[in-house]
Chain A
């Protein structure tokens, strides 16, 4: 049956009628004869769907004196002039213009013409000549960040160049493997790149003026996700570069293409992608210090799906299901009431429902009961406590570094969540904080005792509020992103006025965040004053006697900020769906594209529309069908780990787990200097002693990668089985078990109670039977039931959220 569907799909592709063909770009311009340009031709089918037909289309050049074809869709200029290109396929036509400008009096620019070749073939990466000591005496700067040094390395030494007989240059003999080369055979003697290097050497291998316009960005076409339906199907990529003067150039032949998913596609050095097997691949494209990425899906071998029949609750479902339909992945079934109940409680409040709450929900016949539960969860005190805990992780709040600020910070976050304050307001308050460090919540952003230099604030601001990892750019231009070191330092300069004042003698560890308007931030090497500069390149006018952080906060919280809302919704999404739309959540960059851009945009817009308040956003997520899908998978989505086609199971984290053990056993933890009953999710500081929390990897908050480590360890297993914090609770005379037994509860009542309180459900018949068989074998009833509760606490169903 499956095979038949596939055959039909393939057949329909061939038989499908082309509605029209389009070409990109409509008009191509090159600088002088010899320059070439790639065109991309796409067929649009009558019944929907597109396909790259660049290699099948026929190209008629009206004026062969101006251009000639050198490859599929690839034209080279012959002489100055303009010509039309007629493009044809199966009776459909389109046309493009090809403009050859006068040659600029060919001057070589090493940085633009030659350096990209080393990047393209990976010569300058850290495994080859980009390594600290180079390779075999030839060293290039890592990823080509220093073209002048690279030029020097090439021209200054020995036989690397032979200007009279360029073909005898090591620089050419090695990559074509005329001479043994550790990097292997990279290109052939008839390649475009060989010719460029050859001509450059024979022209004397000049460095050039160094004033050539710097590329401002690259864009790879086709945009959006390309779907390849058959193995072997191909897609040409087109890389267009934009310059500050508005001009554009085809950089396809200069770019380097890479993919980590080589089981899905392969990509050639000319940007031709070939489908290999079902899945999704991101292709990274890099040239001249700029980057972009495109996503390709291969659906080969997957049966078509009919997404119109999939039930939907809201817009999230449309956005997720659209992508799934393209990938031909069917979402899982709806999760049961039990599954939904338990996961909604845990994900939203870090708390299990009590046996009574579980019973009430399961017995409720209202068809709207799931929505009702979501609304009530968002209003519970545990909701605010739990999210304050998460925000404490995010801002790395801990007493040791934060001058004992942690209770105030926790309380500040808790109130913000309880009152659903706009996140823009909170961000501004924290970024522009001044005053006593220990006792004012928002000042926690500045209160780290280690006296962060302005650079540190740049790191944390970009990570926390913008979802950007700029840290690499602290010391060098980011290798996988367009961020330059100057971007990073420009951001740091907004914090130059921040000063920590000690107030010794008044109160130990009390300090003060103050501003010194005259302080400037200096470049770590040149010692020049660095002017504050936003990440979009603008330098806001800052009054000398104003708080610079205000203008940064203005930009971050402005409605059009491209990062702020997305970074926030992505963090929340991860908490509910187990994985960020961008993952890791604080690594937004062109080369780490979102799994579902439309979804991310849609959520960010929703967040902004609701005044940057979290609760409406969370309600929408929790009420979506996508959130309520089962963890079980079907044939089509069993391998999906990025598109949210089923609930991704995960372990319950340290604090909710500790609380769950306390709730099930009915014996609360006692944390030093807190009243009994204080919940682990409500603790403000990771330094509050608890063997259980430490063992289950409560983060120590010393590091901005606040991802929790949920991998199980031997120590955890030992502690759950034999640890005093668990065993003492099981046998406690004041605990649930003792109370039930001494009240004369029947076996079934006890079983029901613990299944409901630990697993939010009643035991099934066979489970009841198994438990009773076990109980019957034991001599001491109390001990027997202790063993039963012990088993539940050590079961997978208990320790996972599913």
Chain B
């Protein structure tokens, strides 16, 4: 098997002239979109490499670049000939047939907050409008299933993960850090000194209070009735979480066999991915996992941090997730993504670090019909510029929506009536022939 270099909508000519195996030019451009009903049931796990992961030290190695660019890491071969990854991701190298590397992601800002906002929402930040994150849009489009919150953040929401103008009901549910020894999802357990009978007595008392309030001559018939319903709805969903065994069990990573927990690694990101799998299995629609505020922001000691901590943890977590999803038959119905808000500078700085670099970075996608063992686009010899087939942040969000069976040309209306398209980009057409 050789890597399938797949281009987006633009580069027909190069496509043909490179003559790579596994491609079928005739198919290009009018491939069926992900089949509707099936895609609509798909869920998404986003491994959020917050701070910006280095493209040239992970999935887009440049062994021929000068040493001040390429750094100290060596590439290794993967199980897909022609696709090489960093030597510190040996497990990821063994499952290359399951994922697709986009080497030509490109953004336009080098500051964390706006760049994170951009990637997470698909929109450049505006001072005057707060956009919903992709997770919130998915939550709104797909709704809840089996009593699980549709959009869950592990360990918790960073501020730009929010629901923006869609409103808090579509915001992420914070699951906490499952790598903690005494991990329990916050607030879904009734107080320890109270039993369920007492809880239902108390609930009855609330119901009586509310009924009295709504009958009050100063309130009866208020136009707030609708807001009361939304509050009731939130309490209903909260109670479902508190009482549904299925939902609460989903959060219990301790049920997993030790071997599975080890497969993902016992790090926050590893256990986060394991929890994400459990949640998706139980009905969550979009789960976002990250392992700390800007942890990938390696301005100093880039190679030490990567080698000792970031890469081994990511290696186990990402490969473990793909293996586990596949053996459970969930890979086709789960889109797995690993990306940060930008890449890192081609040239190593004086502190042995790499700084912010939005011009090009790598995003990895798997599952949900995304062909494995494939590469999309290319960067130049120093991983500094896009050489082929740029994939903008908007194209990326369009692709995510399309994979999940959501029409990204749909428009939402903001509170002031401005139409906002879910994504203004174009999705990648994953054209390939199997075999």
> Which residues of A come within 8 Å of B, CB atoms?
126, 132, 260, 333, 335-336, 338-339, 450, 456, 459-460, 463, 469, 471, 480, 584, 586-587, 592, 630-634, 638-641, 646, 648-651, 697, 700, 702-705, 707, 709-719, 721-723, 727, 764, 766-767, 770-771, 774, 777-778, 783, 787-788, 790-792, 794-797, 799-800, 802
Contact = CB atoms under 8 A, between A and B. Distances in A.
Contacts of B130: 703, 705
A42 B265 CA distance: 80
B413 to A, nearest CB: 10
B434 interface: no
19 contacts: A459-B127, A459-B128, A471-B126, A587-B416, A633-B223, A650-B224, A650-B227, A702-B159, A703-B128, A714-B234, A717-B237, A719-B186, A721-B235, A722-B191, A723-B187, A777-B201, A796-B209, A796-B214, A797-B210
B222 interface: yes
B111 interface: yes
A770 B205 contact: yes
A792 B212 CA distance: 12
Given A697-B168, A796-B231, A797-B210, A460 B218 contact: no
A307 B293 CA distance: 60
Interface string B412-435: 000111010000100000000000
Contacts of B198: 778, 783, 787
**What interface size band does chain B fall in?**
35 or more
Q: Which of A648, A778, A795 has the most CB of B within 10 A?
A: A795
Contacts of A777: 201
A722 B209 contact: no
B197 to A, nearest CB: 9
Given A587-B416, A650-B224, A795-B213, A705 B128 contact: yes
Contacts of B169: 711-713
Given A587-B416, A711-B167, A722-B188, A633 B221 contact: yes
A697 B168 CA distance: 8
Nearest to A777: B201
Q: Which of B165, B174, B218, B238 has the most CB of A within 10 A?
A: B218
Interface of B: 111, 113, 125-130, 149, 159, 163, 165, 167-169, 171, 173-174, 186-191, 193-194, 198, 201-206, 208-210, 212-214, 216-224, 227-228, 230-231, 233-235, 237-238, 241-242, 415-417, 419, 424
A456 B114 CA distance: 15
Given A469-B128, A709-B168, A791-B205, A719 B231 contact: no
A103 B234 CA distance: 68
Given A714-B238, A721-B242, 8 more contacts: A463-B128, A648-B223, A703-B125, A712-B168, A714-B241, A718-B242, A787-B202, A792-B209
10 smallest A-B Cβ distances: which pairs?
Answer: A649-B224, A717-B238, A718-B187, A791-B205, A712-B234, A797-B213, A711-B167, A795-B209, A471-B128, A631-B222
Contacts of A632: 216-222
Given A774-B205, A787-B198, A796-B228, A711 B238 contact: no
A459 B212 CA distance: 47
Given A335-B218, A650-B224, A767-B209, A722 B168 contact: no
A690 to B, nearest CB: 14
Contact of B221 (A260, A638, A783): A638
A721 B219 contact: no
A646 B201 contact: no
A456 B169 CA distance: 31
Given A709-B168, A721-B238, A774 B221 contact: no
B213 A787 contact: no
Contacts of B224: 631, 648-650, 800, 802
B222 A633 contact: yes
